[in-house]
Structure 1
Amino acid sequence: DKTIKKAEFQRERFRFVKAPDRYADWLWIQHLLASAKPSTGRIAVVIDNGALFRSGREKAIRKGVLENDLLEAVLLLPEKLFYNTGAPGAILVFRKNKPKERQGKVLFINASQEFESHPTIRKLNRLGDAHIQKIVKAYKDFREEEGFSRVVTLEEIRENDYNLNVTLYVYPIEEEEEIDIPAEWKAIREINQVLKEVEEKLRSFLEELEYDVE
């Protein structure tokens, strides 16, 4: 009886696939999903980025979660937020009963550039109030912003083999440096003038040594 109950418990808790022993992220996620209320359950989990795209059993679990429309949002965090690693993490938001307008879709948020230096710990970054508000607003509004957030259909995620790597869907916009043409031209002329003066001094020195500099 104990063996049967244990097997039933495992089927209920880990309904998709048993996660690999080396990586327990999706094992824990399945347990949380099984514990959440069917009508109002909502879960947010901080995970290692590798869990978003590793193959094998983890991919099979991602597929099961996505096909059951349980994933609502994926948030890529900045690097150097955590004491034990400089690598960026990610937050997955799951919802047991998604609103109709969000069904069959996942919101991807690339917050990798939304950080400030930690005021007391030099090697760390942190999310400032403005960064947090921006992330929360994007999630609440389920909105798109170029280079920051994007609503992706399940069909597109299927095409990408259930890969949830945020940069696959949202890549931050790199700001182009403005060039002050007059200032740059002035600097070039000044450099050329310095080079001309150096050349004249060198020529004079070589002539004194009776070198042919023509």
Structure 2
Amino acid sequence: MVERNGNGDKSLENWIWDAACSIRGAQEAAKYKDFILPLIFTKRLCDVFDDELNRIAEKVGSRAKAFKLVAMDHNLVRFYLPLQPQNPDDPVWSLIRKLSDKIGEKLTDYLREIAKANPLLNGIINRVDFNATTHGQRDLDDDRLSNLIEKISQKRLGLKDVEPDVIGRSYEYLIRKFAEGSGQSAGEFYTPKEVGLIMAKIMQPEPGMAIYDPCCGSAGLLIKCQLVLQESQGLTEKFAPLQLYGQEYTGNTWAMANMNMIIHDMEGKIEIGDTFRHPKFMQAGKLAQFERVVANPMWNQKWFIEKDYDGDELGRFPKGAGYPGSSADWGWVQHISASLDKTGKAAIVRFGYRCSVTGFGECQ
């Protein structure tokens, strides 16, 4: 997580942790990220939108004219934000920062307006209701929400301010911190950056390849494959990007994966649902096959029963290949094998007491 202005990793991570601490006590620690990351994503959208408005304003003479132009033609910017401060020279984020009453309600309305103007963001940026209540009590009261907004306001996240992996790296940082705090292994929830890069390099992705992650989490493994491809091809060369496909079971994590792809300026298709029982990527009624598969499944899953295997109609669990047993570990390997084309290769992470990477090479 590198800031271009030279403040370094520690500064940005401290900023993220300060944001988490600003709502400490409002929710279980593991849920903090569900409030923080959509706001960081929104801050990034606002700051990039400002950068694009400023670029247009240099050509047309003022930000007021730039606002009018992008309102008429949304294609002039990456994402059109239907938010305009009373003074057009003020940052777009200032509308959120200056909220003083009904903060949760108005913030939620702003995010819904952004989603309405950008179908690609629907279900992603507007997934969290900042005004939600449980048993008559606000999940995140306005005082804590105001503190969170102020903490996030302390960093600019524009095109020249930070590297484009703010969401993914922030997500991994928060997951690791909260996992450590609860005494759980962080490896159960995300794949460390170093492991992901090793996997991507061993996969040797080539331009235009189709790469799949059946349990993609925040899409970090898919993104690292594209980053490795860019490094191998050279940033100035034109080449076909990877075709990235992922499926994720948990709704908030699915949203985070989409945010991660968007903030990296990458295109991919991330589906939501139970890959084991209902895989979403199909082709002519059969399981789709890919040139590369990268995965870090949740190991030791014991809630799949015999009929889940016997009832499969996609040829993933052939008789005689070994019954998965009391956990789904072998079942995941079988699903990955069935998702490879004839020359495909897979990389699978297995976390035990120590982190190790297995499954490299062709999956027969």
TM over 0.5: no
- Normalization by structure 2: what TM-score? 0.16
Relative CO higher for 1 or 2, CA cutoff 8 Å, sep ≥ 6?
Answer: 1
Larger of the two Rg values belongs to structure: 1
